[in-house]
Amino acid sequence: MYRGILATIVVIGSLLVTASFAYIVNPGPVVNATVGGVWPRPKYLRSTDNYFLIDPKNFSILPVENTCDILDKAITRYIKIIQSTVHSPIYYPHVVHNGSGTNVTPAQILSSLKVNLTSPCEQKPHLKMDEWYFLSTSGTIISHSIWGVLRALETFSQLVTPYENQMLRVTETHIRDEPRFPHRGLLVDTSRHYISKDILFRILDGMAYNKLNVFHWHIVDDHSFPYVSKKFPELSAKGAFRPEMIYTQKDVADVIEYARIRGIRVIPEFDVPGHTRSWGVSHPEVLTQCEGSYQGLMGPMNPIKDVTYQFIDELFREVQEVFPDQYIHVGGDEVGFECWNSSTEIVDYMKKNNISSFSFLQKNFMEKVTRSVTALDNIPIVWQEAMVENVDMPPGTIVQVWTGDWRVLLFMFTKAGHRALMSECWYLDHLENGGDWKKYYNCEPLDFIGSEEQKKLILGGEACMWAEVVSDRNILQRIFPRSSAAAERLWSPQHTRNFVEAQQRLEEHVCRMNLRGIPAQPANGPGIC
């Protein structure tokens, strides 16, 4: 029952399930899965009919030039992942290895993969990191950067599939690969529900399996303030949901390190001036005290008091020390003007200073905040509202588009010379029946009218996991494989749009993530994983 949506995506026949599986009119069988399909799809891939066998107990990954802690740890991880592949339910029908095809040569044993890293390791991932790599499954990785090596190892691990007798198989394949966009992110909201550190680690694992490289940590919001500040410990002491629902400085450092060694940047968001109710539990002085019919309530931050800016400045100085990435997200979305409008002092201030609208009041606020960020050599990211009235933000500011007509917004922001991120298509809290990754997959961030120069300002995008109705119990299932669709759109060449082919690779990729401990939900309908 309820199979209307499936009717359009069913692929006929399923070698993997059983060769004799009957095929009838209504409904179709399960979706085929690829065997050793790579997600996201590499830029250039060529396979032959040859293949290699791997004895997982006698297989090594060897740095032949530069190495470092990041590479050493990656080798340990991927050896383990490759070994676990013997348990995968996705494998070639064993008839293939008999050499019946004319182009098939006897399989050779692949005993090691050599990693040629041509430059010393960088210490931390960054916007301009080089993720290019060359991979030959005959045993070679070449990359000019540790980050490319990480992506290559992920790709290699995905090409490996089970064979007979606890052996593994990898088709002879040559890959040259690099991402289309440098910023491929996932936003995780840890305020509306507290997400434990262990689950954050598993989210980062899943990101690495999808070559996502930015963890946008929407760490605080109205509902709770779990970040334990060194300067202002009262923020979490009073503003967290519960005493144990916090991220200590060690927790934050652990998350950043876990991400770093996987080539994932961590960009924190401290959203101002709205979405700050939890700040007001310990620091009511920085919020607006509403009047009139809102008497007794607190609204967005008070934009006319110096104490507000001093507080933000001090907190952001700490944040910029704690989070090593050059970028910091300062929010600026969804500021409700009712409370500002009720405040006598704010309305008087606006009259006195000839500020004609609350939007302009907000513009002034965001200008001051972004200036205090840039003064520290950091670069701000803001939500679109912060820039709608204010396209003359500090140069370098990145704007993130999340609602409304994204084509118009991307045109407008890039026309003004700003760099931009797409999120409008990729709100993971928007649910639909069935496997709803197709709409994410179809969204193309460059599909707006604009010059080549404008398109170059699109840095990529982010899938957003707002946490109204996700907790530790279901957040991994909601994120994967739905964010995988955005991950391929952001990594693979623009022409990668064959939905049926992608569907079959994603079917395998879900099985793969499951095998690796990520409880990704089914992508396509009935299936064996």
Kindly list the catalytic residues.
334
Q: Is 307 in the site for its own copies (CB under 8 A)?
A: no
Choose among 307, 383, 292, 306: nearest CA to 339. Answer: 292
Choose among 148, 208, 149: nearest CA to 178. Answer: 148
Q: Is 1 in the site for its own copies (CB under 8 A)?
A: yes
Contact of 410 with 449, CB cutoff 8 Å: no
Q: How many amino acids of this chain bind its own copies (CB under 8 A)?
A: 77
Tell which one of 474, 494, 498, 501 touches its own copies (CB under 8 A). Answer: 474
Output Rg (C-alpha) for the chain, integer angstroms.
25
Looking at 112-120, 122-130, 221-229, 438-446, which segment touches its own copies (CB under 8 A)? Answer: 221-229
* Chain residues 45-104 in contact with its own copies, contact rule CB under 8 A: 89
Q: Is 20 in the site for its own copies (CB under 8 A)?
A: yes
Contact of 221 with 271, CB cutoff 8 Å: yes
Report residue 19 as tokens. 């060769």
Q: Would you say 193 or 363 has its CB closer to its own copies?
A: 193
Looking at 45-53, 108-116, 240-248, 345-353, which segment touches its own copies (CB under 8 A)? Answer: 240-248
Q: Write down the least CB distance from residue 57 to its own copies, Å.
A: 24
Q: Three-state SS for 256?
A: helix
Q: Write down the least CB distance from residue 8 to its own copies, Å.
A: 13
Tell which one of 41, 429, 443, 447 touches its own copies (CB under 8 A). Answer: 429
Choose among 168, 142, 169, 149: nearest CA to 74. Answer: 149
Q: Would you say 23 or 452 has its CB closer to its own copies?
A: 23
How far is it, in rounded angstroms, from Cα 484 to Cα 524?
13
Q: Is 190 in the site for its own copies (CB under 8 A)?
A: no
Q: Is 399 in the site for its own copies (CB under 8 A)?
A: no
Choose among 218, 325, 230: nearest CA to 278. Answer: 218
Q: Is 433 in the site for its own copies (CB under 8 A)?
A: yes
Choose among 146, 131, 119: nearest CA to 180. Answer: 131
Tell which one of 7, 21, 285, 499 touches its own copies (CB under 8 A). Answer: 21
Q: Would you say 366 or 476 has its CB closer to its own copies?
A: 476
* Chain residues 497-516 in contact with its own copies, contact rule CB under 8 A: 514
Q: Is 193 in the site for its own copies (CB under 8 A)?
A: yes
Q: Write down the least CB distance from residue 236 to its own copies, Å.
A: 12
Map residues 258-277 to x or -, x wherever contact with its own copies holds by CB under 8 A: ----------------x--x
Cβ-based neighbours of 117, under 8 Å, separated by 6 or more: 63, 65, 66, 67, 71, 143, 144, 145, 146, 149
How far is it, in rounded angstroms, from Cα 221 to Cα 227?
10
Q: What is the dihedral of CA 197, 200, 201, 204, to 10 degrees?
A: -160
Q: Would you say 261 or 475 has its CB closer to its own copies?
A: 475
